[in-house]
Structure 1
Amino acid sequence: MRILFVSTSLAIALASAHAQDAAAGGMAFQQCAECHSPGTGDGAGPGLKGVFGRRAGSKDGFEFSAALRKSAIQWDDKTLDAFLANPQKAVPGTSMAFGGDEDAKERADLVAYLKTLK
């Protein structure tokens, strides 16, 4: 019985460690706001309203790199996480200057925040 309790506690701790927090993601987004708007307006990067579920490089009115347009990526939890971790590795040749975020929890929170931009 004790082993089951420890295993259950460990599972809960691991799940909590990777739980997404959109509010924390909103705070993490501040580093993105230099180039990206949470709305539809473009800056150095495209506005991110509606990014979740959209095909990469497809937002009208923004000139994306050929690499991103040709990537055939659909933005979801997995693809956004990989791109935010290392844009150049995820899409070699992308013009995104951001070097990546090594913090898996921060990326998960940021993805949760991006989901709210509908």
Structure 2
Amino acid sequence: MKKIFLMLSVSVLAATSFAATSFADGDADKGKKVFKKCKACHSVDQGGKHRVGPNLFNVFGAKAGHKDGYKYSSAMADSGLTWDEATLDAYLKKPKDVIKGTKMTFAGLKKDKQRANVIAYLKTLQ
């Protein structure tokens, strides 16, 4: 019984360690390529105009739902979220699970590595 518990503990620690380092392993260049899926709705240029979705320049570390000149859903504006690695990862995986009532219709990025890469790319847009 102790051996099984130890093996489970090691597995949980390994999974937790992977999750904690997956963001650091993101590749911004690859993330820029994955971001092409997002460009139909989002611009990323400094001072760029909003499209169907808000401009995402300087989004990392920003409060969700508070970019000037964009009409957010009340769910997004009232979410109280800050766009950090964990929040972006969860949102990019399945937006409607994180913010019920979001206007974003994108189903999400299912692959962990793609999300880590997009997050790395968004962090360069400061």
| TM-score range relative to shorter protein | 0.7 to 0.9
Matching residue's letter, 1:33:
K
SS in 2 for 1:114: helix
Any runs of at least 4 consecutive aligned residues in structure 1 with deviations exceeding 3 A, and if so which?
A: none
Quote the Cα distance in structure 2 between the aligned partners of 1:72 and 1:116.
23
SS in 2 for 1:56: coil
Residue 64 (structure 1) aligns with: 72
Quote the Cα distance in structure 1 between the aligned partners of 2:95 and 2:49.
22
RMSD: 1.6
TM-score after normalising by structure 2: 0.79
Q: How does 1:30-109 map to 2 (within 5 A)?
A: 30-39=36-45, 40-109=48-117
Which string of whole-angstrom CA distances, capped at 9 and with x for unpartnered residues, describes residues 59-118 of structure 1?
A: 000000000000000000000000000000000110101011110000000000000111
Residue 26 (structure 2) aligns with: 20
Matching residue's letter, 2:119:
V
TM-score after normalising by structure 1: 0.85
Overall identity of the aligned pairs, in %: 44
Residue 3 (structure 1) aligns with: none
Uncovered stretches (5+) of structure 2, i.e. residues with no partner: 1-13
Uncovered stretches (5+) of structure 1, i.e. residues with no partner: 1-10
Aligned residues: 105
